[in-house]
Structure 1
Amino acid sequence: MKKMILPVSIFLIMSSSCAVIRPGEAGVRQTLGKFDNDVVTEGTVFYNPLTSKVIKESTQTNNIKLFLTLPSKEGLSVESEISILYRLERDKIPSVLQNLGRDYESIITSVFRSASSDVCAKFFAKDMHSGMRANIEAEIKTKMNENLKKQADGIELISVLMKSIQLPPGLASSIERKLQAEQDALRMEFVLQQAKLEADRKIIDAQGERDAQKILSEGLTDEIIQIRSIEAFNKLSSSPNTKIIVTDGKTPMLINGN
């Protein structure tokens, strides 16, 4: 009896096993090479180790980092660090495993290499270092989605990020000189605008002074001059200080009658 217990126990252990699916994972049971359509997210999965196994895949956002030399429209080579953010759609993991296998990241990488070469070849090297970079990333992502859909449905591309763009040394120097020239031109334009504003201000001041003198001269008639002279004479006469007033008898304080 004891001799039978041991073989039976070993058979039961081998014929029944379990796998633990943790948060951020999904499990797919594979029986005799065929994947089940049911996907387990969290918990314990029992299976027969003699005929089945459980494949666990991450459902979190994953990052593939690449260092590539990208072609440009003018035929230059641009060094770039690339990040491809993606995740597996939980309910479609069996389709991904069935069509691409567990090495699906190599497929994503190959699709990216092809898409990035096609897209970057339509842009100038300087575009990859400017505001056009977002457009390039979006076009690469769109082309990758088209190519991946032909392989398997279930890989969600979140974004394609081009980082650490390194232009050829000669081109980088040319761009820097161009940017410096543009900055100098903007600075000179600002200086000219300031000078023009200052000149306009002086013209307005001169015109105002001229108009004031014109108005004053037109208003100074002989009668007004005589009245002003009498007023000045009265103020002087009320002063306690000793004073001598020279006049022609007609207009106080004014010797020259003309």
Structure 2
Amino acid sequence: AELATVLEPRGIILEDVLLKAVTLPALLSHSIELKAQAEQESARMEFVLTKERQEATRKSVEAKGIADFQKIVSEGISPQLLQWKGIEATEKLASSTNSKVVIMGNSKDSLPVILSATNDGHDADQKSAKALQ
């Protein structure tokens, strides 16, 4: 518009101007690049924050699920059930070929203690007994 007003009194009518290569000053070009980088960094940080919020939500849901499970399980466990499970485990251990000694607990509510003897000493005694024969 300014160029048209200068050229019109000289009889030149300017309809359109096409600029092909515009070179900005280095300082302005650098400022534009810095602004673009800052906008990209801001967008990246927003993405990271969104991702972290989603992860926090996931962990919260997982923790609630675990707490609900533990509540359900703890409500279903009674001292009688625990004692029954202890008796079942004792029976399995007593019938195992690895169990050697079963010692009963010293009170009516305690479960038996099961000890397993090692073969280290017995093997040596058996070998020395065979050697004497």
Q: TM-score range by the shorter chain?
A: 0.5 to 0.7
Match of 2:51 among 158, 182, 194: 194
CA distance in 2, matches of 1:203, 1:180: 34
Write out aligned runs for 1:113-192 (5 A): 114-116=15-17, 163-192=20-49
Match of 2:103 among 241, 245, 250: 245
- 4+ residue runs of structure 1 moved beyond 3 angstroms? 162-165
Report what 2:63 is aligned to.
206
Deviation at 1:232, TM superposition (A): 1.0
CA distance in 2, matches of 1:253, 1:205: 37
CA distance in 2, matches of 1:235, 1:163: 91
CA distance in 1, matches of 2:16, 2:93: 99
* Contact in 2 for aligned 1:229/1:251 (Cα 8 Å): no
CA distance in 2, matches of 1:179, 1:188: 14
Question: Does residue 228 in structure 1 map to residue 85 in structure 2?
Answer: yes
Task: Describe the shift of the 1:213–1:181 C-alpha distance in structure 2 as closer, same or farther (beyond 3 A).
Answer: same
* Contact in 2 for aligned 1:245/1:253 (Cα 8 Å): yes
Deviation at 1:251, TM superposition (A): 4.8
* Contact in 2 for aligned 1:246/1:252 (Cα 8 Å): yes
Question: Does residue 218 in structure 1 map to residue 72 in structure 2?
Answer: no
Larger radius of gyration, structure 1 or 2?
A: 1
CA distance in 1, matches of 2:17, 2:112: 95
Report what 1:26 is aligned to.
none
The Cα offsets for residues 190-217 of structure 1, whole Å up to 9 and x where unpaired, read as 2212222222222222222211211111
One-letter amino acid matched to 1:211: D
The residue matched to 2:111 in structure 1 has which SS? coil
* Contact in 2 for aligned 1:230/1:251 (Cα 8 Å): no
Report what 1:80 is aligned to.
none
CA distance in 1, matches of 2:76, 2:20: 76
Identity of aligned residues (%): 40
CA distance in 1, matches of 2:28, 2:101: 87
Number of aligned pairs?
A: 101
* Contact in 1 for aligned 2:86/2:111 (Cα 8 Å): yes
Relative contact order (C-alpha < 8 Å, sep 6+): which is higher? 1
Q: Supply the RMSD in Å over aligned alpha carbons.
A: 2.8
Greater helix fraction, Structure 1 or Structure 2: 2
Report what 2:122 is aligned to.
none
Task: Describe the shift of the 1:217–1:115 C-alpha distance in structure 2 as closer, same or farther (beyond 3 A).
Answer: same
Provide TM-score, normalisation by structure 1: 0.34
Provide TM-score, normalisation by structure 2: 0.60
The residue matched to 1:234 in structure 2 has which SS? helix
